[in-house]
Amino acid sequence: MRPSDAGHIALDAAGEPIGADVWMDPHAKDDAVVRAPLNYTLAWDHGHAVREPGGGWRTKSDLGFDVFVQQGRIVTLGLELLTCHDPAPMAWKLLAPVSVFAGHNSLMPNESRLTKAVVEDLALAAPVTTPSVAVTGPEYCDAHYLGAVIEVSGRWRRGDRDGEFHIGERAAFGANTTLASRKSIVRGVRARCERRLDTLFDGIDFGKGGPQEWSAKMIRNLVEQTRWSFE
C-alpha cells in the first residue's frame, strides 16, 4: 500500500494501481451504476481458403503445401476486453512449451471475461456468437484472445509428395490487442473477433518436425493474425 497525495490510502500490485471506473446515472432511483450488454462473435476470414463440396476446406500455405482440412476442433479458452486504465497483461505458462498471455485488470473481476470455453468445428469454420453479459467498465482500450488447438486431421500435398496429418497435441497461445480507438459501452458492445483461416498452416513443413511443433505454430498463426472490430 502507498498513501496518496490526498491523504487517502491507495492500493497497488507490482507498482500498478488497483481500481475500477464505472459510470453512474444521477437520475436513477435505485442502482445508479450504468450497465450495458456485451457479446462476442467468433468469426473467420476465409481469404483464399476454399470450401470442399463434401465438407472441409482447402488452402495453400506460404511454404507451398496444399492442405485439405477434413476435421478438427479449435477451442477459445478466453475472450475479454480491458478497460482503459488496466495494466498490461501478465505472461503465464500453459500447455508448455507454448506461452499464454492472460489479461488481468487491477485484481477486480472482469465482467467482460468469457466464463465458458467455446469449441468450434474447424472443418465447418462458421461464425459463433456468445450469450450477452452485462458490463459496467465505461470504456475499453484493449482486447485479449486465448485459443487452443485440440485436434486437426487432413491431407497435404507439395509437388509429387503427399501424405496425411493428424495434429492431436494440445497447444495454447494468447495475445493482447490494442484497439484502434476507445470503445464505449453506450448502446451496448458487440465485439467481433475475426481469425484468418487460409494462413493457419503457414510456416509448417509437413516433411519436418511433428504434431507438437505443428500445433504450436498453428495456434500462434490463429491468435497473432486475429483482428478485432465492433458492430
Asked whether residue 118 is domain-assigned, the answer is: yes
| 185 in any annotated domain | yes
What domain count does the chain have? 1
Enter the C-alpha cell of residue 1: 500500500
Which pLDDT belongs to residue 98? 39
Query: Is the sign of the CA dihedral 129, 130, 133, 138 positive or negative?
Result: negative
Domain-embedded: residue 2? no
| pLDDT score for 103 | 41
Q: Is residue 65 part of a domain?
A: yes
Q: pLDDT averaged over the chain?
A: 83
Q: Which of 30-39, 48-57, 131-140 has the highest mean pLDDT?
A: 48-57
pLDDT for the residue numbered 85: 74
Task: Judge whether 29 lies within some domain.
Answer: yes
Is position 100 within any domain? yes
What is the reported pLDDT for 102? 39
Q: What is the DSSP string of the chain?
A: -EE-TTSSEE-EETTEEP-----B-TT-SS--B--EEEEEEEEEE-TT-EE-TTSSEEEE-TTS-EEEEEEEEEEEEEEEEEETTPPPPEEEE-STTSEEEE---TTS--TTS--S-EEEETTT---EEPPPEEE--SEEEEEEEEEEEEEEEEEEEETTEEEEEEE---EEEEEEEEEEEEEE-TT-EEEEEEEESTTTTTT--TTSS-HHHHHHHHHHHHHHT-EEEE-
Contact by Cβ (8 Å): 121, 128: no
Residue 75 lies in domain: 9-230
Confidence at residue 17, expressed as pLDDT on a 0 to 100 scale: 52
pLDDT of residue 150: 87
Which of 7-16, 21-30, 92-101, 179-188 has the weakest average pLDDT?
92-101
3 domain residue, yes or no: no
Evaluate if residue 6 carries a pLDDT over 70.
Answer: no
Residue 4 domain flag = no
Contact 159, 60 (CB under 8 A): no
pLDDT digits (tens, 9 = 90+) for 83-97: 987 655 543 334 433
Q: What is the pLDDT of residue 216?
A: 93
For residue range 152-210, list pLDDT tens digits in order. 999 999 999 999 999 988 889 999 999 999 999 988 999 999 999 999 999 999 999 99
